[in-house]
Structure 1
Amino acid sequence: MTFKEELEILIAKNLKTYIDNNDRFIADYNREQELTKEYNGRQLLELLQNADDAKSTEVEIVWDEKKASFYFKSRPTLFIRRH
């Protein structure tokens, strides 16, 4: 099974869960809102913590002043697909 197919199955399962149980949808939404409040202003620190947790040997943070945005890259890659 390809990674794309796995994602499609996961998305379909989650959609079914929310369709079948809208209380769960509301609860998950509320939890996401709380998490957003908790991390507000700490996003960069959290990215650095994630890189440290992944035993990254290098972190690159680039600020794009024109777009008023940044990107964050660490090595090793944080998202490793395991079978």
Structure 2
Amino acid sequence: MIYGVLLSIPEKLVSKYEDEVRKTIGLGIARGDVISFTEARYRGDVAFVMLARSRGAAQSMVSELGSMPVYVKVIEIEGES
């Protein structure tokens, strides 16, 4: 099982929280909790998907990002074996 974090910032909050979210992701990368991330923009909203090194690392990121008024959750990615 691969774990990740899905985060979405609504358009009306992007200007206030995007830099703070990026800083938190950067700290997660520095700690080794986040392996990689990508972002997308759609009609003013901004979304990030991060791959985490473990479920615990993903939950740690969710708890850090959860203090902001953004949508954030742990996602599980299943693959065929």
| TM-score bucket of the superposed structures, by smaller chain | 0.3 to 0.5
**Higher helix proportion:** 1
The two structures have a TM-score, normalised by structure 2, of: 0.34
Larger RCO of the pair (alpha carbons < 8 Å, separation 6+) = 2
